[in-house]
Amino acid sequence: MKKQILLLVAAVFIIFTGGFFTGTFFSSKSEQQKSIRLTKMPTSKLILVKKRIPHQSKILIGYVQDFRNPNMVDYSKLTHVIFSFAHPTKDGKILLNGTMALNNLRTTVEKAKKHHTKVMVAVGGWFHIQGGESYPYFKAAISHPISRTRLVNELNHLVNREKLDGIDIDFEYPRSPNEAKNLSDFVKELSNGLHSQRKELSIAVNSKINAASGKIITSVVYEPSMFQYVDHVNIMGYDGQWDNGYHAANLSPYPFTQNIVIYWTNLFLQYHLPKNKLILGVPSYGQPDNPAIKQISYASIINKNPSNAIKDVVYMNGTTYHFNGELTIRKKVNLAVTSGLGGLMIWEEGLDARGENSLTTTIFNKLKDPEKNIVLNK
């Protein structure tokens, strides 16, 4: 009897261990079979290996400018609304664009809460309420410990007073190692205050890729260690039309976005940072071939002709506009999901079309079913 029991135990042990090692090997091999290699970046020679990953909850962030009617936002499709902008002063205070902006912020918070959508306020941006770019104001505010701490306290106070879910930093852009360090110190200090209250912190970043050449942009400098203190890194994967002269077609083409994802995912892997912090930004506007003509909203492109939704180029107002239509946006969602990014961001909701041709809706629906109609190569 004892001998039979020993034999039975030995048999179970062999089956269990054999199954364990077989299962481990099969899993590893299966992952290798599902790996698909994208085109290499021509200049940096970085490689992105894409994998199909199981569906998981993804972030969908919509920036909303302070003068927009809060009623036009489809909060049910967004996980986060980022209200833009609070303007930093050189001595570390913040300004909102008058009573209108404050009322719009409060209405946004009220409506967003009904859909469990988080509301954050972006500080910075390109233009400053007092004139010119925000860069010199923001740079001065975070360059000195006293004004930096004052700005942190002001933002924490704003979050508490307006019942916000966090702050987004939009400093465009650190242009030296010293500025990068000042930004990192500011992020760390603000992170400590917000996270102690279970609030979120995100940061908008330059794409770091030249849309014309594919080279890494070295004139914009970040301290990678800074990203450990934020919840989301919103990559501005657009406005490439200014690289190496003006070329409207470089606004945000798919190959440009591929190179952006390659750069940022490799950077995060190198510094052992989770890739799901990365949020891929897409545009909801068209860029004109004629730089003397203003940009146009995606809503205007669709209102002109709904069939424009499947295009990336249209002729309107005496010029050609380049933009991201629904097919390109779906491909970018695939790229983000299969690359392990945390989701997508759109600039900005007020420029998006309404109804079935909304890019926000396109992204939302695609994120619900990321494995459907996956296209990896253009």
Provide the pLDDT for residue 3.
37
Which region among 25-34, 143-152, 193-202 has the lowest average model confidence (pLDDT)? 25-34
Token reading at 98 = 């008058």
Assess whether pLDDT exceeds 80 at residue 30: no
In this prediction, residue 17 carries a pLDDT of 37
User: What is the mean pLDDT of the segment spanning 151-179?
Assistant: 97
Does residue 217 register a pLDDT over 90?
yes
In this prediction, residue 57 carries a pLDDT of: 82
Report the pLDDT averaged over residues 31-52: 34
Q: Which two tokens stand for residue 220?
A: 């914009």
**pLDDT at residue 20 is higher than 60:** no
Q: Which fold has domain 43-368?
A: TIM Barrel (3.20.20)
Average pLDDT over the chain, rounded to whole? 87
pLDDT tens by residue, 290-329: 999 999 999 999 999 999 999 999 999 899 999 999 999 9
Report the alpha-carbon distance of residue 370 to residue 336 in Å, rounded.
10
Alpha carbon distance 348, 282 (integer Å): 9
Confidence (pLDDT) at 29: 25
Q: What is the mean pLDDT of residues 200-223?
A: 98
- What is the C-alpha radius of gyration for the chain, rounded to an integer number of angstroms? 23
Q: Which long-range contacts (C-beta less than 8 Å, at least 24 apart) are formed by 241-244?
A: 241/211, 241/287, 241/322, 243/210, 243/211, 243/212, 243/213, 244/210, 244/212, 244/213
Checking if the pLDDT of 117 tops 80, the result is yes
pLDDT value at residue 371: 65
Residues forming a β-bridge with 296: 286
Q: Is the pLDDT of residue 22 over 90?
A: no
pLDDT classification of 102: cutoffs 50, 70, 90: very high
